[in-house]
Amino acid sequence: MPPKAKRPCRKPMCPVKTNSEHGYCEVHASLAIGWNNPERGTAEQRGYGWEWRKLAQAILKRDRYLCQCENCGGKHLPASEVDHVMPKSLGGTNDPGNLRAINHDCHKAKTEREARRARRRS
């Protein structure tokens, strides 16, 4: 039986061809695993276990499943996530007054802004 044909690495713009099971070359093999930061810990270890999920459902219900962020411009898009107004990394808590329902796209944009600020500080 002939050997399996090599295919391009799944990482965009990578010119290497591979025949690995996950589809990534040796350089990009860590991408097959997903999030690859063992220091980060699991969601439960970071404080997002069943108690958080229960609290998040209560916040979504309180906010009527509508986005409460200031970037929506009053459109009140459907919300599916819960956000810390003051991030936990800056001393925020899981107090319901510090939590709000937020749309996925708004949450992603807010998290990116916070990450940029944190990188500038360090």
How many Cβ atoms are within 10 Å of 14's Cβ, its own excluded? 15
- Residues 39-46: what's their mean pLDDT? 82
The radius of gyration computed from the CA coordinates of the chain, to the nearest angstrom, equals 20
Q: What DSSP state is assigned to residue 88?
A: G
- Using 50, 70 and 90 to split pLDDT, how confident is the model at 89? confident
**Mean local confidence (pLDDT), 97-103:** 96
What pLDDT shows up at residue 56? 97
Q: Which pLDDT value is given to residue 63?
A: 95
CB 44 within 8 A of CB 33: no
What percent of the chain shows pLDDT beyond 90?
A: 56
Q: How far apart are CA 28 and CA 39, in angstroms?
A: 20
What does each C-alpha distance from 28 to 16, 18, 66, 70 come to in angstroms? 10, 11, 39, 38
Q: What percent of the chain has pLDDT over 70?
A: 94
Q: Can you name the residues that pair with 45 across neighbouring β-strands? A: none
- The whole-angstrom separation of Cα 82 and Cα 48 is 11
Residue type, 57: Q
Give the count of alpha carbons within 13 A of 116, CB side only.
6
